[in-house]
A = this chain, B = another copy of it.
Amino acid sequence: MADIRDVAKRAGVAPITVSRCINNSGYCSPETRARVEAAISELGFVPNRMASGLRSKRSNTLALVLTDITNPFFTTIARGVEDTASEAGYTVIFCNTDESVIKEQMYLHMLVEKRVDGILLVPAQSGLDSVAFIKQQNTPLVILDRRVADLNTDVVRCDSFGGAYELTRLLLSLGHRDIAVLNGPDGVSTSIDRLLGYRKALAEAGIPANSKWEYFGEFNQKSGYEMAHKIMAEAPLPTALFATNNFIAFGALKALREIGLRVPEDVAVVGFDDLPPALVTFPFLTVADQPAYEMGRRAIEILLNKLSGEISDQYQDVVLPAEIVIRQSSGQAR
C-alpha cells in the first residue's frame, strides 16, 4: 500500500506538501495540487489515519456508549449523533452496556486506548466511577439521557420529572385515584425523576403515596411483564398503570392481555417514550414522547464545540421537554 512518500516522489514534491494537500492545511499552488492529486489517484493512495492521529493526537473518532441500541429511543439518539458527527468528519463507535457497570468500564477503557476525541455516555447506574475515569484522562465528555452526581459535567436529557408529572395529572383528570408505577432500576436518574413527578402530581391531588404501587424493575419488556403480573395478582387493584419506558409498557400490556383485562376499559395504561411512526401499525399508547433525535444532536453539538476549543468552565444541563401524546390506552373520563 502506497504511502505519502511514494506519492511525493511521483509528484516531484516533498512528503509534507502531500500532507498539506490532503488535509488542506497550509498553502499549495493549484499546479502542485493537481500533480499531487494525480499521483494519489494513480497510486490508489489512501492516507493512514492511525499514523496521522499518532502525530496530531486526534483520532477523528467519537464514541456513543449506551445501554441498548435495540431500544428505538436509543436508536433514534444514535441516528442523531451519527448524522451530526459524520457531517463534521467524525466516525462514531457504538457500545452497548446492557446497564452493566462492568461492561461500561471495559468499553470506556477501550475507547481511551483508542484515543477517541470525545465520548457520549448514557451511564449505567450512577456513572460515578466512569465519569471520574474519563475526566482523569481529559477526554471530552457529554452525558446523555441521565443525570449524574458530578455537577461539573455537561448533560443533555429530557424532562423526566415534568413528563411523569403531566402523565399522572392526565390520569388523575380522567378520574383515576389508584395508579401504579412500573419503574426501571432505582439507581438510574430517569427512574427516580419519573417517580418524583408521579408523586408530586398525586400529592397535589391530595392522594397519599402508596409504596405498594411503586415498583422498581428493569427497563425491558420482561420486567414490565412481571411487574404487571405481580401488581394484578392481589387486591387492591390499581385502575391505571404508569410504565416508565416503552419496553416496560409493552410488557405490561402483554401481561394484562393474558390476564384478560382490557385496556383502557379495565385498566388505563400510559408510558414513557413513543415509537417512531414507521414502527407502529395502530397508534394506541398514551405516552410522554422524548425528542430522542434532538437529544442526540444537541449532545454531539456540545461535544463538537468542546473539541473545537471552545474552552468553557460553564457546564450545561440541557433539559428538553417531553411531549404528552394522548391516545386510546389512557381511556375516557370515568
Contact = CB atoms under 8 A, between A and B. Distances in A.
Contacts of A277: 221, 250
Given A70-B75, A75-B75, A253-B281, A49 B96 contact: no
B44 A54 contact: no
Interface in A43-102: 44, 46-51, 53-54, 59, 61, 68-72, 75-76, 78-79, 82-83, 86, 91-96
Contacts of A246: 279
A326 to B, nearest CB: 16
A96 B70 contact: no
Report copies per complex.
Answer: 2
Contact of A82 (B61, B94, B254): B94
A228 interface: no
Contact of A281 (B59, B112, B276, B284): B284
A276 B70 contact: yes
Interface in A270-316: 275-282, 284-285
Q: Please classify how large the interface on chain A is, using the bins under 10, 10 to 19, 20 to 34, 35 or more.
A: 35 or more
A110 B53 CA distance: 13
B95 A93 contact: no
A23 B285 CA distance: 51
A24 interface: no
Contacts of A254: 281
Given A70-B75, A96-B82, A61 B250 contact: no
Given A53-B50, A72-B279, A114 B91 contact: yes
A41 interface: no
Contacts of A71: 278
Interface of A: 1, 44, 46-51, 53-54, 59, 61, 68-72, 75-76, 78-79, 82-83, 86, 91-96, 107, 109-115, 136-138, 220-221, 246-247, 249-251, 253-254, 257, 275-282, 284-285
